[in-house]
């Protein structure tokens, strides 16, 4: 059990993560066997599913408190409250994006809010055409770093894993910050860092900002 991961979801993110979990015993659950989850226990639960699996995960964690990493996006306000409730009993790490680069951008925005407020702020998010949520979870994460809401535009096309561009406009200058994903391995590597982080915690709600502060 101490070396066991319960991996929820078997899509692109999950499959990119699995090669990095060779030192663990991994049980993978998807829509075909998610009802079997309660038959297993592990040291860590990683949710890479669409958030429609949330009810199964929530019911499981109420019975078996488990260190949990949530990679899925699009949770409702009620579901976020349930996640915060669970974090009183176990450590829960949640992020809409596990890239260190995005975390650095968010930190820059938060640390410079007063100056950034002087600019007109825009976010452009680019993803593959099968991406369900729009704006993306990452765009919403970046939006939360601003003190005033930026203008957000979502573009969906083929063969783009993920790219986000932040433009800050003034009369005489423009600042552009671009972050592009060239491989989903960047997310997998971020999740591995979050595993090391959460194994040291007993309870609480954590994000990539907390991880960045400990690196």
109 contacts 142 by C-beta, under 8 angstroms = yes
75 catalytically annotated: no
Q: How far apart are CA 113 and CA 145, in angstroms?
A: 8
Q: How many CA atoms lie within 13 A of 117 on its CB side?
A: 9
15, 131, 140, 201: which one is catalytic?
Answer: 131
Q: Tokens 């976010």 — which residue?
A: 123
CA 139 – CA 47 distance, rounded (Å): 20
**Distance, C-alpha 137 to centroid of its chain:** 8
Dihedral angle at the C-alpha atoms of 201, 207, 208, 211, nearest 10 degrees? -20
- Please name which of 133, 169, 175, 174 lies closest in space to residue 154, comparing C-alpha atoms: 133
Catalytic residue among 67, 94, 127, 164: 127
Residue 124: how many CB atoms within 10 A of its CB? 17
Report the residue count for the chain: 215
Residues catalogued as catalytic? 127, 131
């Amino acid at each position: 059990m101490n070396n066991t991961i319960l991996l929820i979801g078997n899509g692109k993110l999950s499959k990119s993560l699995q090669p990095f979990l060779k030192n663990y015993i991994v049980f993978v659950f998807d829509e075909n066997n998610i009802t079997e989850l309660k038959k297993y226990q592990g040291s860590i639960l990683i949710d890479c599913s669409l958030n429609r699996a949330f009810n199964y995960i929530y019911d499981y964690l109420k019975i078996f408190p488990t260190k949990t990493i949530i990679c899925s996006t699009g949770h409702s306000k009620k579901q976020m409250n349930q996640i915060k409730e669970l974090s009183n009993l176990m450590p829960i790490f949640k992020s809409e994006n596990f890239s260190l680069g995005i975390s650095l951008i968010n930190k820059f925005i938060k640390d410079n809010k007063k100056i950034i407020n002087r600019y007109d702020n825009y976010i452009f998010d680019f993803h593959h055409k099968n991406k369900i949520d729009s704006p993306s979870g990452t765009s919403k994460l970046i939006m939360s770093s601003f003190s005033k809401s930026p203008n957000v535009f979502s573009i969906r096309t083929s063969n783009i894993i993920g790219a986000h561009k932040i433009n800050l406009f003034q009369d005489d200058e423009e600042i552009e910050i671009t972050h592009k994903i060239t491989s989903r391995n960047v997310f997998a590597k971020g999740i591995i860092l979050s595993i090391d982080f959460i194994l040291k915690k007993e309870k609480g709600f954590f994000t990539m900002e907390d991880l960045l502060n400990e690196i």
